[in-house]
Structure 1
């Protein structure tokens, strides 16, 4: 569930996108979202190969409650820093 500021995470990438930052104590942090995870889907929409701008547009156009599926990288060298 988003708060007054947003959802507390930043996504970057051209697909697959990854979580670049998580606000400590924010909604995403409380839900267990971690940096370097890949965004698989948002509210049921497959986001694995979308550009981060498309993901952002989908998030802000949707409800305040997000269902975010993430994937852990198998190899940390695959995720940009």
Structure 2
């Protein structure tokens, strides 16, 4: 089995062991008061102190399983963010607490990481490479 498939299977098993709960978050003047990271499933990365999400019982580290009854456990980050942002009023979230905090690479698919790589090397490295290839010019 491919290591990536093993990681996905372990994540799903960890989520299944944790109790799923439903949280209803009202939209406040500054939004819902939480941010998400990763994908498949998206994880609540931060909850604003005193915000609507904190008052509703949402916690950093919760995995989003459903938004307004629609399963998002295997949805890409952009789709989940769009669903949350486009909700006109309170949103109903099904969440489960993760056993371990997410890492930057664990929750990002390879094609997503490839899409976010720099197109060009940083300026200093570009200059060093140019100096190596054209020594008399610099």
The residue correspondences of 1:9-20 to structure 2 (distance < 5 A) are: 9-20=34-45
Moved over 4 A (4+): none
Q: Give unmatched runs, 5+ long, in structure 1.
A: none
Q: Distance in 1 between matches of 2:72 and 2:58?
A: 16
Aligned pair 1:76/2:86, yes or no? no
CA RMSD of aligned residues (A): 1.4
- Over alpha carbons, which structure has the higher Rg? 2
| CA deviation after TM superposition for structure 1 residue 14, in Å | 2.1
- By relative contact order (CA 8 Å, sep 6+), the higher-ranking structure is 1
TM-score under structure 1 normalisation? 0.88
Q: Give unmatched runs, 5+ long, in structure 2.
A: 1-25, 105-138
Residue 48 of structure 2 corresponds to: 23
Residue 44 of structure 1 corresponds to: 69
| CA deviation after TM superposition for structure 1 residue 80, in Å | 2.5
Q: How many corresponding residue pairs?
A: 79
Which has a greater percent of helix? 2
